[in-house]
Structure formats: C-alpha cells, structure tokens
Amino acid sequence: MNVFGVDIGGTGIKGAPVDLDKGDLSEERFKVLTPQPSTPESVIEGVQEVVTHFGHTGPLGVTFPGVVVDGVTRTAANVDQGWVGFDARTKISEKLGLPVVVLNDADAAGVAEITFGAGRGRGGTIILLTLGTGIGSAIFVDGRLVPNTELGHLELHGHDAEKKASAKAREDEDLSWHHWAHRLTKYLAHVEMLFSPDLFVLGGGVSRKAEKFVPLIEGIKAEIVPAELQNNAGIVGAAMAAAKL
Ligand code: BGC
C-alpha cells in the first residue's frame, strides 16, 4: 500500500513515502523548516508542501510533538500555543483532502523501533526516549503501547526534565558529553525507579553519536541501546499508523 508519514518537529517538517515491508523510507525524505511562529495554519501549509512534493494521494500519518487524543492536540511544549485543543486531524484532512491520523512523535518513533529497529522481537517493558528539542517517551508492555506518556516532563531536582537532559539542553548550555551523560543518568535512574523497564531505547538525532554518551551512563539496571531508525523513526511510525486507516 502507498502510505506516507510526516514528522512535525520544532525545527523541521519532514516526510517520505514508506515501504512497510522493509520499515524504511522508499524515497529520500523531503524537509521544510518549521515556520516561526509555528501556528497550526502555517505548520499545516508546511505539511502540505511536503506531501505535494511527492504527489502523494492516500492515507497520511502525521506526528506531533505533544499529546494527541482522538486527533486533537492537547499540549504544545515546543510549538505555538495555538495547537492546544486544536482538532489537527480534521483540519489537516480538510486542507489536504486525504484520510489522516495524528499521533505523538515519540509514540510513532517507538512503534517503528519495536517493529523494525532496536526493540524488535523483545517482550517485557520497553521505554523509548527521544532526546531532541524536548524529550519524548513511548512505553511498551509486551509490544503494546501506552500512548501519550510525556516522561520528558517529569520533575527532576525542581526542573522540567527535558529542559536539563534533552539534546537541545546539551547544545544550548554547551555541556561536555560527560556532563550531559551525568544528567541523563539521573534522569534515567528516575524513570527506572518509576517503571523498572527491561530495556531503554534512546532515540533522536543524537542517537547517531551514541558511542559518545551511552558508555558514560552508569548504574542503570535496564539494558540501554541506541535507536536504529534514528531520524526516520517518526516518519515510519506515522506511515504505519496511516496503513491502519
Ligand atoms: C512533548 C512530547 C514530545 C517530546 C518530543 C515534549 O516536549 O511534550 O509530547 O513527544 O517533546 O518532541
């Protein structure tokens, strides 16, 4: 089937057609910058630009960096506040004239990773964390997702965890890999205290540099592995959701 995924992020909107047998993009992805301010109207125009670039006409999966329930976006930590309470599924579907499913970005990435990537064939409790502009989370128990878990917003030492431990925090504060890994360790220890997962999968663009920080994380009982689909996981997961439409 001809399915397509779009990943809306704080900095870019990227998409591609997806080969669901391989769990990979079937063409090179196309990206536009996320407009600023990232209002729903301007971002939807970006989504349309990405989709029409490929001339796609079929089901469309779209990820969003916030809570999404029944196609309505409920939170917007790193995008314009106009998304709070916005019926994204209906609006995108009307604008593009396609059947649309909207889901949380980390949930989409997690579904792709446990199907085609680092969590493939594994049971038990798996927590995928995307370390990017914010921190996204997806929790799986024997392959079944608990959606919209938002573990990036756990409070850690009086701070919103993602403000201290995301990849953006490392860049903004110019932290060494050691310093950032130390913060990540504290964050992972907190998540482990709450959920005792069997496996942590660490995703987001920074997972490409896993060898620089994963070996520096100490004292966590769960196995820790980098994501395998890296920056394409959201697109693949979105397309997988679209295939069910
Ligand atoms: C949002 C999550 C999202 C994560 C990664 C967080 O700020 O609250 O919903 O998954 O960023 O984009």
Rounded Cα distance, 232 and 146, in Å: 21
Residue 126 sits in the same domain as residue 223: yes
The DSSP code for 208 is G
Domain-located, residue 204? yes
CB 49 within 8 A of CB 43: no
Beta pairing partners, 12? 33
Residue 216 sits in the same domain as residue 237: no
pLDDT at 1 over 70: no
pLDDT at 207 over 70: yes
Count structural domains, the chain. Answer: 2
Residue 126 sits in the same domain as residue 146: yes
Range of the domain at 144: 121-229
What is the atom index within ligand 1 of the atom nearest the CA of 10? Answer: 12
pLDDT in tens, 3-57: 999 999 999 999 999 999 999 999 999 999 999 999 999 999 999 999 999 999 9
Lining ligand 1 with CB less than 6 A are 65-67, 75, 77-78, 104-106, 130, 132, 134, 136, 150, 152-153, 162
Place 139 in a pLDDT band, splitting at 50, 70 and 90.
very high
Domain-located, residue 157? yes
Distance 216 CA to ligand 1 centre (A): 25
Residue 10 sits in the same domain as residue 102: yes
Structure tokens at 38: 């990232």
Residue 237 sits in the same domain as residue 205: no
Domain-located, residue 53? yes
Structure tokens at 159: 């701070």
CB 41 within 8 A of CB 33: no
